[in-house]
Amino acid sequence: MGATYSTLVHSTSSAFNTRLQSWLQNFTGKKMAIASLCASVPLILGYLGLRLTGKTKGKDFTKGKGIKDGVERSQSRLDDDLASIASGTLFSTGATSNESSLLKKHSKTQSVTTSTHTYPSIRTFYFDLPKQESLPTTLPLVVFIHGLGGQVAQFQYLIDYFVHISHVLGIDLPGCGASAFLPKDPSAYTTEALVEILENVIPQYLRPNQQFVIIGHSMGCALSCTLLQPSRPLAARCAGLVAICPKAELSEHERKQFKKALMMPESIFDLWRMYDRRGGVDSASVKRFVGKSANKKVRAMQVRFNEESRTPVWRRMVTGFSLPPSDDWSRVKCPVYLLGASEDKITPISEIDKIYEWLGGEARKDVEKEVVPNAGHSLIFEAPQVTSKLVGDFLKTHIREELDLGWQLSYLKEDKWMLKNLTKWTNFVPVGERVGNSRFRPMKTLRENDAVHNPADFAANYPEIGHVIDISHTSPPYEPASLGPKITYHKFPTVSKIAPTLSEVRQFIEIVDGILENLPEDAERPMIAVHCHYGFNRTGFFLVSYLIERCGYDVPAAIEEFKKARDPGIRHSHFKNELYHRYSMAGEGRK
């Protein structure tokens, strides 16, 4: 492969230079841009070779028109890339085309005018919690602030979770995501200028006397710290800050790297970015941001976000960016949650330790820190279930207990046997299929006088079932004795809407282990039916936990097995987040 690459570049360099010179003659940019592109010929040739070798793997180019056709195709792609660099579109945004329907539906662009600049097209996402009027108090607005080169779409999984809990606001900073790269003036991209944008936009979505909570990522944490200084207009209304992968200080090496990057002409910098992205999902540009075990979907998302980050915007923000000093962090008085990732190469966990001490450390009970294992800087979409669970726990503990989906569902719950819920119960399939390689059959609760799903008919229709574990909180709407002599009834009461505790899971597993261990050696192993009310959330949580702890499943596989057995599976997102958090953080099950 090395010889082929060398020969190929040598044989095509003359033809390529002719095409490059022709392209430059038609280029109307400034002389500096032309000089930069001419100086970049070695990089371009290297890039051409990489594009060719990437495409020719496994093919024989020693016969027929292979080399010629490959060169022509690569030159065509390179012409397109060079033209894109000149027009500034190679790394520009196509953000909304890949966004979730939720983000698209609740987004708009608006003009924002601060004390120094007007930004004609800033994208904002806002979701107003429909059930707010049925709750006893006004919930705080959850505000998402992205990092350098980021966009609000990076928070899409966290947003999907928090729109069920509170009001949510997301902002694409100028030139990021779906916000226009306007104005071009570098002074519009300094830390102070960006904070002013936030101070202008956030109040537009606050109700009278409503507080807000910030969830910031990377550079977004630094902007948040500046926003929360006591002298700033919104500091008093902030109920809490979640700082994900924050940066405390720049090392001397990092300062030199930034300085070198800023000295480089934009066209050269774009070519370096192309070179850095060679390998796609396995490129250095991706590995820099995600953990070693990140799956292809996560890596593909990182490729997309890297491609949508605009070089001129990045350079302006870096030029005007300043990290808040330790004194600024010490002046943040609201509860703060610092969340890092064990494999973060951009902001290692030592950064969190510094900021934790600046905030007061163990002396402050409203400041906590946590590190998520097996994840990188892109924690917010690499491990969203664990992140959502950790952030949600902090919010309900240190800010408002109402910021908990379980609390809200309990507050709003209705009598399960009202006509509406009886109809809902009737429409569900009575008994699910066998769950994976376990002995479980999930089902909805029985009703004594139901025409279809009553104890007597159940016992007759499912002779393979020898035990029923009832995990509903109250007395069942059927007489357990009606199950007959061949089915043993076990009552294990648990509370609805709230994810089962570790202790409850242990007790459930002990019940199942006891059933199986007490069988005579020659007895046929019976199936075990488990039900709560509808047979989805609590039932699913216990059965998934059992699959992980006793049957060797990992979390995604166990959740999927339950869904196959009783579609649509676990419906409460906070239940699934708890499973990911519990078993991913603790390292239980087979990962």
pLDDT digits (tens, 9 = 90+) for 334-348: 999 999 999 999 999
Per residue in 75-109, pLDDT (tens digit) is: 443 444 344 444 444 344 455 667 888 898 899 99
* 58 φψ region: left (φ > 0), alpha (ψ -120 to 50), beta (else): left
C-alpha span between 24 and 183 (Å, rounded):
28
Does 143 share its domain with 263?
yes
Does 474 share its domain with 399?
no
* Highest mean pLDDT: which range of 168-182, 258-272, 467-481: 168-182
If pLDDT is split at 50, 70 and 90, which confidence band does 518 have? confident
573 in any annotated domain: yes
Does 376 share its domain with 488?
no
C-alpha span between 170 and 143 (Å, rounded):
6
Q: Report the percent of the chain where pLDDT is more than 70.
A: 80
If pLDDT is split at 50, 70 and 90, which confidence band does 216 have? very high
Work out the average pLDDT over 123-136: 92
Q: Which of 87, 112, 137 is the last residue of a domain?
A: 87
Does 444 share its domain with 350?
no
Work out the average pLDDT over 509-524: 79
Q: How confident is the model at residue 74, as a pLDDT? A: 37
97 in any annotated domain: no
298 in any annotated domain: yes
Instruction: Report DSSP letters for 450-466, one per residue.
Output: -SSS-HHHHHHH-TTEE
Report CA 520 to chain centroid distance, whole Å: 49
Supply the mean pLDDT for the chain. 84
Work out the average pLDDT over 469-476: 88
Work out the average pLDDT over 451-480: 91
Give the CATH number of the domain where residue 321 resides. 3.40.50.1820
Does 40 share its domain with 125?
no
- Indicate if the pLDDT at residue 191 is higher than 90: yes
Per residue in 396-433, pLDDT (tens digit) is: 999 999 998 878 877 876 445 554 578 889 999 999 99
Does 383 share its domain with 439?
no
Q: Report the percent of the chain where pLDDT is more than 90.
A: 66
Nearest 5°: phi and psi at 490? -125, 125
Q: Which of 383, 407, 431 is the last residue of a domain?
A: 407
Q: How confident is the model at residue 522, as a pLDDT? A: 56
392 in any annotated domain: yes
Does 402 share its domain with 423?
no
Sign of torsion over alpha carbons 151, 199, 120, 222: negative
pTM: 0.71
If pLDDT is split at 50, 70 and 90, which confidence band does 521 have? low
Query: Which residues 6+ apart lie within 8 Å of 68 measured at CB?
Result: none
Query: Contact 389/406 with Cβ under 8 angstroms?
Result: no
State the Cα angle at 559 between 499 and 157, rounded to 5°: 75
550 in any annotated domain: yes
Q: Which two tokens stand for residue 366?
A: 């409203």
Does 267 share its domain with 167?
yes
Where is pLDDT greater, at 89 or 146?
146
Work out the average pLDDT over 18-28: 43
Cis, peptide link before residue 183, omega less than 30° from 0: yes
Place of tokens 């909570």: 213
Q: Which two tokens stand for residue 302?
A: 């990182």
- Indicate if the pLDDT at residue 13 is higher than 70: no
If pLDDT is split at 50, 70 and 90, which confidence band does 437 have? confident
Query: Which residues 6+ apart lie within 8 Å of 350 measured at CB?
Result: none
- Indicate if the pLDDT at residue 134 is higher than 90: no
Domain carrying residue 307: 102-407
> Nearest CA to 455 among 482, 428, 486?
482
H/E segment holding residue 24? helix 2-25
Does 472 share its domain with 399?
no
- Indicate if the pLDDT at residue 534 is higher than 50: yes
Q: From the CB of residue 510, how many other CB atoms can be counted at a distance below 10 Å?
A: 11
Q: Which of 59, 87, 115 is the last residue of a domain?
A: 87
Per residue in 362-405, pLDDT (tens digit) is: 999 999 999 999 999 999 999 998 999 999 999 999 999 999 88
Q: How confident is the model at residue 345, as a pLDDT? A: 96
> Where do runs of H (alpha helix) occur along 88-205?
101-105, 156-162, 191-201
Between the CA of residue 171 and those of 156, 294, 310, 470, 513, what are the distances in Å? 12, 27, 17, 46, 51
If pLDDT is split at 50, 70 and 90, which confidence band does 495 have? confident
Q: How confident is the model at residue 154, as a pLDDT? A: 98
Does 166 share its domain with 50?
no
- Indicate if the pLDDT at residue 328 is higher than 60: yes
C-alpha span between 448 and 458 (Å, rounded):
11
Does 107 share its domain with 236?
yes
Query: Contact 262/315 with Cβ under 8 angstroms?
Result: yes
545 in any annotated domain: yes
Q: Which two tokens stand for residue 485?
A: 């002599």
If pLDDT is split at 50, 70 and 90, which confidence band does 520 have? low
Does 360 share its domain with 454?
no
94 in any annotated domain: no
Place of tokens 């799956």: 295
Q: Which two tokens stand for residue 544?
A: 């998934």
Query: Contact 222/324 with Cβ under 8 angstroms?
Result: yes
Q: How confident is the model at residue 475, as a pLDDT? A: 76
How many domains would you assign to the chain? 3
96 in any annotated domain: no
Give the CATH number of the domain where residue 437 resides. 3.90.190.10
